[in-house]
Chains A and B, each alone.
Chain A
Amino acid sequence: MRIEKHPILEFQKGAKIKFLFDGRELEGYAGEPVAAALHAAGVRVLSHSHSHNRPRGFWCAIGHCSSCNMRVNGVPNIRVCIEPLAEGMVVETQKGRGRLDV
């Protein structure tokens, strides 16, 4: 799902890295938003609504709407549309409102 050739834009990408999504190893580019890497890998369901558990994807892509909240490296409710991807990152779909490890 990556754009290979664009008439105007050239995409400068960081290093190709690996990260974990719900236990699955995926590839992405360092520094791009986690949501972009997931989307490029065909992952579109990022969270679920709190009351009815309906699947949700991203909506705004600018860190404003919280529709893309996921668990990243053990911290719940990370807005993955603006969270930069890093090597070895552990990204998980969270249950409901997100679990805080105490």
Chain B
Amino acid sequence: MYKTEILVVGGGPAGLAAALAAAEQGAEVTLADRNSDLGGQLVKQTHMFFGSKGQYASERGISIAKILKEKAAATGKIRILTGATVTGYYEDKKVTIEAGDKFFPVEPQRVIFATGAQENTLIFPGCDLPGIYGAGAVQTLMNLHGVKPGNRVAMVGAGNIGVIVSYQLLQAGVEVAAIIEAAPRIGGYYVHAAKVRRLGVPILTSHTVIKAHGNHCLEKITIAELDEKRQVMAGSERDLEVDVLCVSVGLSPLAELLFQAGCRMGYVPELGGFVPFRDDCLETSVAGIYVAGDAAGIGEASAAMVQGRIAGLAAAASLGYGKDTFLEKVTEAGRELTGLHGGPTGEKIRTGLAKLTLLAKEAV
């Protein structure tokens, strides 16, 4: 039987940071990721990060992924399994992994789930036509594989991902016809939004897509303006000729393994959906199971890395590693997290976390 002290599921920013923190404290770690390379969604983030130096601010996501991977390798305490999908968490506390032609159980003493998120879909007539893609998917196609998604794109959603990917589309030489946002205001960071606007991309707030047209692939969309009750205003419909529609309407935590492990969960829209109840050290209601990153609630990669660090430190400390430095390190990380969740941009997350705390209390 494959045994490991700490199994980290998911090698994105949260998982890498968790593995790194636990290994630096002296724990022996296995990091499993279903992709062929570590880094999660960082590997396609060409923009520079905000935050402070501790969270790799002013670095591009692609560089952060590289730095974290190199650091992980340097510890000599992390066994990395790529192309390894964690398929289940079973009643005997074994975790199963499928890797290529192999399927095997793993016996971990602690598990940190950093499984990330998936993109939400938007339902309207014709929404399944080829050419309608997740914004993250387009980012992958473009920034990782160097392929343009099409010639003329419309973006749904003016949140961070929506405006950032729009800018990246322009960088790749793709025309962006418009950014369509149902809310009356732009949700993404102002600097990113201002950049795409300067490049001539209209951001249509209080607008939505009502229909997609095309024979086999997307050829045209119909958009319309929304009133204050978010109902379509009659007569405001108009067509946009585009061959790609990027959908950027939020993410949902990948919570299947947490559910299967029996973690108590709460539904919090501000955090993206079902997320596990957890303590300050991100330990869930099942002792020995921790969560970090988008799986703990949709947020920024910077916060995901700090959460990963906290979970990694705590999991290691619970096994007796780094007890003398734990308090100091985890307090510092907690301070950083509070900072990242501060200000007006952190309001949604703060509300979500408060709701989750309340749900957990009610559930007891």
Q: Find out whether A and B make contact in their complex, taking CB atoms under 8 A apart as touching.
A: yes
Residues in chain A near residue B119, CB distance under 8 A: 59-60
B136 touches A2 (CB 8 A): no
**B contact residues, total (Cβ < 8 Å):** 34
Interface residues in chain B, defined as those with a beta carbon under 8 Å from any beta carbon in chain A:
34-36, 46, 60, 62, 118-119, 121, 128-134, 136-138, 140-143, 145-150, 171-173, 216-217
**Contact A63 B146, CB 8 Å, known A6-B171, A58-B133:** no
Instruction: Given A44-B131, A46-B130, output 20 extra A-B contacts at Cβ < 8 Å.
Output: A3-B146, A3-B148, A4-B173, A8-B171, A33-B145, A44-B130, A56-B130, A57-B131, A57-B132, A58-B137, A59-B119, A59-B133, A60-B136, A60-B137, A61-B136, A61-B138, A61-B140, A62-B136, A65-B118, A82-B36
In the complex, whether A90 has a CB less than 8 A from a CB of chain B is: no
A contact face: mostly helix, strand, loop, or mixed: loop
Evaluate contact between B217 and A57: CB separation under 8 angstroms: yes
The 6 closest A-B pairs by CB, nearest first: A57-B130, A61-B137, A11-B146, A36-B145, A61-B140, A44-B130
- Are A2 and B46 neighbours in the complex by a CB distance under 8 Å? no
Residue pair B34, A63 in contact (C-beta under 8 Å): yes
Question: Nearest residue in B to A11 (C-beta to C-beta)?
Answer: B146
Which residues of B lie under 8 Å from residue A73 when comparing CB positions? none
Closest Cβ neighbor of A8 among chain B residues: B46
Give the distance to chain B from A30, nearest Cβ to Cβ, in Å.
13
Q: Are A60 and B134 in contact (CB under 8 A)?
A: yes
9 contacts between A and B (CB under 8 A): A3-B142, A39-B141, A44-B131, A49-B128, A57-B129, A57-B130, A58-B133, A61-B133, A61-B137
Contact A59 B134 (CB under 8 A): yes
User: What residues of chain A have their CB less than 8 Å away from a CB belonging to chain B?
Assistant: 1-9, 11, 13, 32-33, 35-36, 39-40, 44-46, 49, 54-65, 81-82, 84
User: Would B130 and A45 count as touching, CB distance under 8 A?
Assistant: yes
**In the bound complex, what is the Cα–Cα distance between A49 and B137 (angstroms)?**
20
Chain B residues within an 8 Å CB radius of A1 = 147-148, 150
Q: Name the residue on B nearest A36 (C-beta).
A: B145
Which of A35, A44, A84 has the most chain B CB within a 10 Å cutoff? A44
Measured between beta carbons, the chain A residues less than 8 angstroms from B217 are 44-45, 55, 57
CA distance in complex: A33, B150 (Å) = 17
For A59, list chain B residues within 8 Å (CB). 119, 121, 132-134, 137
- Which B residue sits closest to A54, measured CB to CB? B128
Residues from chain B with Cβ under 8 Å of A60 in the complex:
118-119, 134, 136-137
Q: With the chains together, A36 CA to B140 CA distance in Å?
A: 10
From the candidates B129, B142, B148, name the one contacting A55 in the complex (CB within 8 A).
Answer: B129
Q: Does A3 lie within 8 Å of B147, measured CB to CB?
A: yes
Contact B145 A32 (CB under 8 A): yes
Pick the contact of B35 from A9, A13, A82 — CB < 8 Å?
A82
Contacts of A8 in B (CB 8 A): 46, 60, 171
Contacts of A84 in B (CB 8 A): 36
Minimum CB distance partner of A5 in chain B: B173
When C-beta atoms are compared, the residue in chain A nearest to B215 turns out to be A55
Interface centre among A56, A58, A65 (most CB of B within 10 A): A58
Task: Check A39 against B134 for contact (C-beta < 8 Å).
Answer: no
CA distance A3 to B173 in the complex (A): 8
Cα–Cα distance between A60 and B137 once the two chains are bound (Å): 5
Cross-chain contact of B149 among A9, A32, A33, A39 (Cβ < 8 A): A39
Residue from B34, B171, B216 within 8 A of A45 (CB atoms): B216
> B121 — which chain A residues lie within 8 A by C-beta?
59
Contacts of A54 in B (CB 8 A): 128
**Residues in B whose Cβ lies below 8 Å from that of A81:** 137
Decide: A11 and B145 in contact? CB cutoff 8 A: yes
Query: B172 is contacted by which of A3, A46, A58, A62 (Cβ under 8 Å)?
Result: A3
CB neighbours of A3 from chain B (8 A): 142, 146-148, 172-173
Instruction: Give CA–CA (A51, B332) in the complex, Å.
Output: 54
